[in-house]
Amino acid sequence: MESSHDHTRPGRRDFLRTAGLSGLTLGAMTSAPLEARVEFLTQQVNRRSSPSELRITDLRIAEVGGIPFRCPIIRIDTNQGISGYGEVRDNGPKEYALFLKSRILGENPCNVEKLFRVIRQFGHHGRQGGGVSGVETALWDLAGKAYGVPV
């Protein structure tokens, strides 16, 4: 019976096995060509998406009900079907996040630092910062999903 672990990302043993099969010794692995090491380390990167062509197409808000506090959840959608999620913090109104929609539409969500420089001016103190924080969290979530790595 195969375990679900058999088809997960490769570990050090897989690297050693691969290196051994290709004639590399343990000492030679450290001097292996940079391209070979990078290829091995990035083989789990999601290549189904093309992060350089990723664009934000929508920003939506849903409020979770049935709990003692308001919890606006942000969803940012892209042209490649990837969505990122964040939460408006500090009990901030959803309008603080929706206000930022026009500033990020059409942009590449993988450029989180660039987009944050654009939206941070609308954060201010307290509850107004909740929208900026939620959008930034959703952008980091999108970037992680685009590259197939955890955030």
Q: Where are the alpha helices (DSSP H) in 66-121?
A: 95-98, 101-104, 112-119
Q: Which two tokens stand for residue 44?
A: 């789990």
Asked if residue 84 and residue 132 are part of one domain, the reply reads: yes
Is the model's pLDDT at 68 over the cut of 90?
Answer: no
Q: Are 82 and 54 in contact (CB under 8 A)?
A: yes
Question: Tokens 């307290």 label which residue?
Answer: 126
| Range with lowest mean pLDDT among 8-22, 55-69, 96-110 | 8-22
Q: Is residue 90 part of a domain?
A: yes
Asked if residue 104 and residue 85 are part of one domain, the reply reads: yes
| Range with lowest mean pLDDT among 10-14, 125-129, 147-151 | 10-14
Asked if residue 131 and residue 82 are part of one domain, the reply reads: yes
Domain count, the chain: 2
Average pLDDT, the chain: 78
| Range with lowest mean pLDDT among 25-34, 54-63, 82-91, 98-107 | 25-34
The CA distances from residue 27 to 19, 34, 124, in Å, are 11, 15, 54
Is the model's pLDDT at 129 over the cut of 90?
Answer: no
Asked if residue 124 and residue 64 are part of one domain, the reply reads: yes
Q: How many CB atoms lie within 10 A of CB 84?
A: 24
Asked if residue 62 and residue 35 are part of one domain, the reply reads: no
| Range with lowest mean pLDDT among 9-18, 23-32, 108-117, 134-143 | 23-32
Q: Is residue 46 part of a domain?
A: no
Is the model's pLDDT at 104 over the cut of 80?
Answer: yes
For the residues 10-35, what does the mean pLDDT come to? 59
Going by pLDDT thresholds of 50, 70 and 90, the confidence category of residue 15 is low
Q: Is 30 helix (H, G, I), strand (E, B) or coil?
A: coil
Asked if residue 85 and residue 12 are part of one domain, the reply reads: no
The CA distances from residue 122 to 58, 73, 129, in Å, are 19, 19, 7
Asked if residue 69 and residue 135 are part of one domain, the reply reads: yes
Asked if residue 14 and residue 58 are part of one domain, the reply reads: no
Domain range for residue 33?
A: 4-41
Asked if residue 130 and residue 112 are part of one domain, the reply reads: yes
| Range with lowest mean pLDDT among 27-31, 87-91, 124-128 | 27-31
Sheet of strand 56-64: strand arrangement: 56-64, 71-78, 83-87
Q: Is residue 62 part of a domain?
A: yes
Asked if residue 99 and residue 33 are part of one domain, the reply reads: no
Q: Is residue 134 part of a domain?
A: yes
Q: Is residue 96 part of a domain?
A: yes
Q: What is the pLDDT of residue 114?
A: 92
Asked if residue 29 and residue 99 are part of one domain, the reply reads: no
